[in-house]
Amino acid sequence: MILIVDDEPDVLELISSILARASHQTKAFHRAEDALDWLESNNATLILSDVSMPDMNGFDFKREFARRFPNKNVPFLFLSSHSDPEHIVRGLELGADDYLLKPAHPEVLRAKIESVLRRKRRYAVPIFHGDIALFPFVKLLQFCETRGLTGEVAVQSGSFSASVYFNKGELVYDDSTEDVLDTLVDLDTGSFRIHAQPLTFDEIQFASTVGAAETAPGAPPPESNAMGQLSGVKVGTRTFQIQTELVSHPEQRIVTIVILDGRTVLKRVSDLPPLGEKSDHAALIRAQHRAVEAEVRQKLGELGGRQASASDSPKERFNRLFERGHDAYLDGDLEQARHLWQQAQAIDPTNKALAVNLEILGKKLDTR
């Protein structure tokens, strides 16, 4: 269902007919507020909105949509008669997928919408979502590299909205990536969503994170409708990474693992009913994730002691230096952050997330 929002009835009728001829179902609204109310209990595959509207303009509509529905991955296009660069840039900076000018040629409009929908389908699988305050973007970079992610990380913080893309764990750069990263690394509030292409069993290395013994060699990969939540519980300079996923093989279950210094220190598994809506699954995932977070906080002393007594492996030293460098960065001590991250890089010079962090840090130091 494509949602069309425009205060001009003739425009709504024209766009609806153009899309209907391309076999798209549409829902039209004259007011952005009515569209938001409809979205409370319905889903759209794409939103096409005018910019200049009474009561709530298109830019405010986009901001309010992101605020009210942080977990809805819906492409957003502006269609406006405003052709000045300032308006176009503002729309794209709000996270819109494209900005089209009125009057839009029917073939161009259809082609643009199909292009955006194809891109959405490539990255439509919801893998994880979470809170930037609990799991900052620096950690997200490391997580995406470790998982070998091919897909999109979308971040929303107030009126700021941005996406970055990964290919098999490597950050994909374009002309705007560096400026976006500078902002993302400094965020301390907001939410994130990770969407990914369906991965092969080897690519996602599922067995290495939830236990190889649970999946027989040659077994098919988990189904691509996996969803989950990601957060962190910080203790001093170390972070307990908490991952909760819906697993479909060998049977439907919700699996939560807690990772510290690269090793699993806690695991919880619960079965699912054989049938159920995805929204029901999402609620169960959230409930289990929160329960494990609370359990981790209760067991911090025990888990911390267990890790402290473990052997000091290179991976553990790397993770500690990475965390301490991140803390120094947040405290504004950029020289100390670089010193610690360079020590970590000496342990693992192939870590791409760390290389990105050092590149951003170097630019900040050069501009001082």
- Whether 312 shows a pLDDT value over 70: the answer reads no
Q: Which stretch of 6-10, 71-75, 222-226, 264-268 has the lowest confidence by average pLDDT?
A: 222-226
Which residue in this structure is represented by tokens 């199909």? 114
Element containing residue 297 per DSSP (H, E): helix 278-298
Residue 279: the pLDDT is 54
Q: How far apart are CA 94 and CA 75, in angstroms?
A: 12
Q: How far apart are CA 263 and CA 209, in angstroms?
A: 9
Residue 237: the pLDDT is 63
Residue 202: the pLDDT is 38
**What's CA 193's distance to the chain center, in Å?**
2
As to burial, measured by CB atoms within 10 angstroms (0-12 exposed, 13-18 middle, 19+ buried), residue 193 is buried
Q: How far apart are CA 341 and CA 293, in angstroms?
A: 28
Count of Cβ atoms closer than 10 Å to residue 172 Cβ: 11
Q: How far apart are CA 228 and CA 244, in angstroms?
A: 5
Per residue, the 3-state secondary structure of 128-161, as one string, reads EEEECCCCCHHHHHHHHHHHCCCEEEEEEECCEE
Helix axes 58-68, 85-93, angle to 10 degrees: 10
- Whether 100 shows a pLDDT value over 80: the answer reads yes
The whole-number average pLDDT for the span 102-124 is 77
Please answer whether residues 262 and 256 qualify as being in contact, where contact means their C-beta atoms are separated by less than 8 angstroms.
no
Q: How far apart are CA 254 and CA 268, in angstroms?
A: 8
Average pLDDT, the chain: 78
Q: How far apart are CA 32 and CA 12, in angstroms?
A: 13
What region does 164 belong to: left with phi over 0, alpha with psi -120 to 50, or beta? Answer: beta
Residue 117: the pLDDT is 83
Q: How far apart are CA 244 and CA 358, in angstroms?
A: 29
- Whether 34 shows a pLDDT value over 90: the answer reads yes
CATH of the domain spanning 2-122:
3.40.50.2300
As to burial, measured by CB atoms within 10 angstroms (0-12 exposed, 13-18 middle, 19+ buried), residue 244 is buried
Count of Cβ atoms closer than 10 Å to residue 269 Cβ: 14
- The token pair at 216 is 């027989």
Instruction: Name beta bridge partners: 230.
Output: 243
- The token pair at 31 is 């007011």
The per-residue pLDDT for range 127-181, each reduced to its tens digit, is: 788 888 888 888 888 888 887 877 788 888 877 878 888 877 888 776 667 778 8
DSSP states along 312-368:
--HHHHHHHHHHHHHHHHHTT-HHHHHHHHHHHHHH-TT-HHHHHHHHHHHHHHHT-
- Could you tell me the CA-to-CA distances from 181 to 113, 138, 154, 155, 206 in Å, in that order? 27, 10, 12, 11, 28
Please answer whether residues 338 and 365 qualify as being in contact, where contact means their C-beta atoms are separated by less than 8 angstroms.
yes
Q: How far apart are CA 66 and CA 191, in angstroms?
A: 10
Per domain, the residue ranges of the chain are 2-122, 125-294, 314-366
Give the global pTM. Answer: 0.54
The per-residue pLDDT for range 227-237, each reduced to its tens digit, is: 688 888 877 66
What region does 236 belong to: left with phi over 0, alpha with psi -120 to 50, or beta? Answer: left
